[in-house]
Amino acid sequence: MSKYTLGIILVAVGAFLFSPGGVFLAYAEHASSLTGLFFRLLMGTFIITAYLRIFEKTSWYDIFIPQSKTAYVLMISGILMQYLFILALKFIPTVNVFGLYALSPILGALINAIIFKQRVSLVTYSSAILCLLGITYAFYDQFSMENTFIIGVVLSIGGIFAGFAVFIILKQNPEIKGMSTFVQSWVIGSIALLPFIDYDLPLKEISWLSLGGTTTAIGYAVLAVGPKYIMPSESTILLQIETVFGIFFGWLLLDDPVSLQMLIGLIIAIFSVILNSSYNLYHQYKLRDKLNNLTIPHPTP
């Protein structure tokens, strides 16, 4: 198997492993959002530590000791990203949360261009408008001024922007080891949450939360490797698997309502992401081919 094929498989598997998270949290119906977060952080600590030690050969010191003050900002952003996702599920259905997260790649491309002063193509602008229209159409008939709906939408979008903060910090500070910093934040977060978790949960619900934390952590580990072997835009396209299966599992296992209008709107939104990523992918391959064809002149003896 080539490294390229391995990269495709790993990114697809990683995205898929993220998708049932909402279902596992919903099955633990008596658990608070902080308890759900605790199990995610706890399982993530064990699994990612094992990954770093076994596969990356990272030292215990590098895994558990923060390397800079900026790492603490990354820790807060990473935990906030997970907590806002979990909290949003308490207010709106799983399919709505995953549907809103379809906005993430397009908004990310725009924010990345603004912050790092990169040129934004007409295709990206068009895709952003198309994605926004698709999401608006998908949830237009569900729009409500009720507090629970508004709070759920705000929390979902807040989780998206917390994810952007993680990306920006890592891009601006390449010396920070992302996976190690996540483990550090998860250890601190798990300890800090001990007074607030539900200790009287049924074993069945604890099992669901542990399973959700496990699949998410394995997803992180797999996605730490897969994108190394493929183009960034290919990763973006494959990561849409999370949105598709997250909505599918919410409909199949939780009986979340999925209308034809929602499906059409989400298809439009996901298509816009694929359109923009395909455009970027074309230029990435074009640039790579151009660099590969460059001839380096040898000095005349």
Q: Please give the average per-residue pLDDT across 227-233, as a whole number.
A: 86
**Of the given ranges (15-19, 121-125, 297-301), which has the lowest mean pLDDT?**
297-301
- Residue 294: what pLDDT? 56
Q: Find the radius of gyration of the CA atoms of the chain.
A: 20
Alpha-helical (H) ranges within the chain are: 3-18, 21-27, 33-54, 60-64, 70-88, 94-100, 104-115, 122-139, 147-172, 178-193, 203-223, 232-238, 240-254, 260-292
Return the structure tokens found at 197: 């978790």
**CA–CA separation, 165 and 173 (whole Å):** 12
- At residue 54 the predicted structure's pLDDT band, cuts being 50, 70 and 90, is very high
- At residue 149 the predicted structure's pLDDT band, cuts being 50, 70 and 90, is confident
Whether the pLDDT of residue 42 is over 70: the answer is: yes
- At residue 145 the predicted structure's pLDDT band, cuts being 50, 70 and 90, is low
* Domain locations in the chain as residue ranges: 3-292
Residue environment code for 150-172, b if the CB has 16+ CB neighbours within 10 A, otherwise e: eebbebbbbbbbbbbbbebbbee
Report angle CA 21, 111, 104 to the nearest 5 degrees.
20
Cα 162 to Cα 68, 76, 127, 141, 165: the distances in Å are 20, 9, 22, 28, 5
